Amino acid sequence: MGIGGADIRHLILVGLPGSGKTTVGILLGEKLDRPCWDVDRLIEEKIGRTIVEIWKLEGESSFREKEMASVLELVAAEEPSVISPGGGWAAQDGALESVAEKAVTVYLQTSPSVAAARTDASEHRPILHSGEKNRNAVLESLFEARKRRYEQCDVTVKTDERTPEDVSIEVARLARTLLG
């Protein structure tokens, strides 16, 4: 999608909840000397509500609109950055295409069982509290629904059996090759 364009400046990390987008993003930002933006945190700061509150009061579709707008705002910035949207961002129609000229998308490929083991039962992941008690089943369902979109990313990096540090080193190496 985004590889090769002169305006490519940003890296966007994509994957299931628990794939390491935020953790790897922070490490990657340090390695590449770029700011790392956790889109969920940006939305919470801008709106003054938690993600869970936004989902409960406004619904998932309202959250996804805010998420899309936030990512587009970040990729419009001149300063190169690392962007970590929620796991569902890339699954939205047109999301990957909307950033293709400004960003390289990196799919942090994680199996649903590993993602389930990495995620906690905290309340800040509303998608994991959809009434289903089994996080593994929820993540398996999300994976099946999103897999096709995730696989459309520019680069895939496997994260199972790897530390966030190892993953960030690989993504940094790829970024230096792709972005110069």
DSSP labels for 114-165? Answer: HHHHH----TT-GGG-SS-S-HHHHHHHHHHHHHHHHTTSSEEEE-TT--HH
pLDDT for the residue 120: 62
| Residue 156 pLDDT grade (very low, low, confident, very high; cuts 50, 70, 90) | very high
Whole-number Å distance between alpha carbons of 73 and 70: 5
Answer for the pair 154, 80: CB distance below 8 angstroms, yes or no.
Answer: no
Q: Which CATH architecture has domain 10-179?
A: 3-Layer(aba) Sandwich (3.40)
Delimit the domains of the chain by residue range.
10-179
Q: Give mean pLDDT, residues 44-49.
A: 93
Indicate whether 32 pLDDT > 80: yes
Q: Give mean pLDDT, residues 43-60.
A: 90
Round to the nearest angstrom and report the end-to-end CA distance of the chain.
17
| Residue 114 pLDDT grade (very low, low, confident, very high; cuts 50, 70, 90) | confident
124-148 residue pLDDT tens: 544 554 555 676 788 888 899 999 9
Indicate whether 180 pLDDT > 60: yes
pLDDT for the residue 116: 78
61-74 residue pLDDT tens: 999 999 999 999 99
Indicate whether 55 pLDDT > 90: no
